[in-house]
Amino acid sequence: MALKIGVLISGRGSNLKALLDASAAANHPFKIVHVISNVAVAAGLEFARAHNVPASLVDHRAYADRTDFDAAMDAALRKAGVEFVCMAGFMRILTDGFVEGWRDRMVNIHPSLLPAFKGRHPQRQALEAGVRETGCTVHYVRPAMDSGPVIARAKVPVFQGDDEAALSARILEAEHRLYPLALELVATGDVAVRGEEVVFSDRAMRALGH
């Protein structure tokens, strides 16, 4: 049985697309059963619907506070039978209650080599810091933003003359390879988390180049 995935988005949805493309393969170990966007005009929402993936808008502005908003998302995910949540460009801070409710069953992708460059505009932060290398990270989600046990990282070079757009595009290509791979390894049980430690099977170590 494929692991039932819910994806949280706020915008473009290119990582959602990468996950959907991967899951279209025969006998793939994960299946996206629901997409939630907090933004009505998110391109990813349209994309999901166009591909017959059940998708709902949970507009944060319609709720009194973060707790109510998160409760609405939680209810939608559980109603859809979601077993595991992927954040993919989801731009709202989640309450500790929501995060704890999906503890060890929620991952995020961030466009830096965490713990470097947490928060907003990590690509701009990398350029300003003058690093020669940055990348992306898939990690289990913990209450503190952009923290949590790391599943996988992919390195991306920074070239002279890069601007934020060029660097972001290069990182995004790496994201589109890394996220489906990391999630596949979670879905097959080749990656698991025990406490704050991620445990890898031999297959996962090979696949991730560890």
Catalytic residues: 110
The residue whose two tokens read 């819910």 is 6
The set of residues, in sequence order, having a beta carbon less than 8 Å from that of 104 and lying 6+ positions away, is 140, 193
Nearer Cβ to ligand GRF (1/165): 165
User: How buried is residue 40: exposed, middle or buried, by Cβ count under 10 Å (0-12/13-18/19+)?
Assistant: exposed
* Residue 89 binds ligand GRF, judged by CB under 6 A: yes
* Residue 107 binds ligand GRF, judged by CB under 6 A: no
Handedness of CA 57, 149, 128, 135 (dihedral sign): negative
As a whole number of angstroms, the distance between CA 1 and CA 20 comes to: 17
**Piece in contact with ligand GRF (CB under 6 A), picked from 107-115, 146-154, 180-188, 200-208:** 107-115
As a whole number of angstroms, the distance between CA 50 and CA 119 comes to: 31
How far, in Å, are 2, 7, 46, 193, 203 from residue 70 at the CA level? 26, 14, 22, 24, 36
As a whole number of angstroms, the distance between CA 79 and CA 33 comes to: 11
Question: Per CB under 6 A, which of residues 135..164 are in contact with ligand GRF?
Answer: 136
Nearer Cβ to ligand GRF (65/133): 133
Total residues binding ligand GRF (CB under 6 A): 15
Q: Which residues pair with 109 in a beta bridge?
A: 138
Question: Per CB under 6 A, which of residues 44..63 are in contact with ligand GRF?
Answer: 44
| Helix/strand/coil for 34 | strand
Binding mask 11-40 for ligand GRF (x = CB under 6 A): xxxxx-------------------------
* Residue 183 binds ligand GRF, judged by CB under 6 A: no
Nearer Cβ to ligand GRF (104/173): 173
Nearer Cβ to ligand GRF (59/75): 59
Q: Which one among 8, 77, 85, 88 touches ligand GRF, defined by CB under 6 A?
A: 88
- Binding region for ligand GRF (CB under 6 A): 9, 11-15, 44, 88-89, 109-111, 136, 172, 175
